[in-house]
Structure 1
């Protein structure tokens, strides 16, 4: 087979995989659309449970009550279809990898997906209740807490992505060590910088309140330590002298 034919066959394979990904996403969106209002209520529950009695969320644009629940259903569909999406991506690239690369990258994709979902779950179940409880309790006397539903969706989406990416830190550490880009000893020596950096990242990615910054920075640091621990067992041979310490 010539290079041109090979290139065309790869393009056709890529097109087929992308079509399957889009089809899987569309199916999930259609399945979740009838429950869009319920999904938004569930998403807003951490804030609703802390709002004063008699107050409620508001919609400041004409189309917001319709579009925002649709966006929530679409986001849920993206998350639910993520394993299928990753499988299609893996099926496309796997044939071009060596056996030892497949043994490493396959589990890595699975673990990174689970960690991202764990980050989202941590934000929803651990961070949001504390954060929204603090915010609503801090409202000045006479100020009614009535958040716009569109602004709320933008806020929680940013938090989900921030915590999801933060939980990928162990994956980044393991990859750097696996491909011999960084030594274990260097990672250990960088601990103090990582702690400072974690709080800086927490200040940048979260709202300007101390609670959410700390609740992102501390897991970020602990996940870094977890990545260093795991990396000891997968580092390239010949670096065994760095296992101590």
Structure 2
């Protein structure tokens, strides 16, 4: 009973962290980025400084840590659940003839790519853009572009990732 409870709590944590992660991803791409661009063009307005100074750092904190918690809790679930395995998922069930491992593995790989983008491309570059680390204007411009492309890539990957994850638990290959 304890392992069932542990798995249920882990899955709950995985869903909650995942909702937070993807919700913030969509917020950045569909709300904040367009609003900051609009604010920058508004000659008489306050500009994007308030967003960049007060909202973005806090949102990025939740964004990157929810990404990590989502990935770690998902990896734990794959190791602990009797019908999955971490190795089987990341090898896409090759040799196991198990469509659930193939399906969950596709979602796990997409989630891993997205986690990489958050911690290796988005966060280090956003630190430059926000002035949290010293960077020239040229470095900031390049960092902004890299973070933008990685964030948009994650947005595009999020839908298939969610479909693979959901279909694996419902036994549907699509």
* TM-score bracket for the superposition, by shorter chain length: 0.3 to 0.5
TM-score (norm 1): 0.28
TM-score (norm 2): 0.36
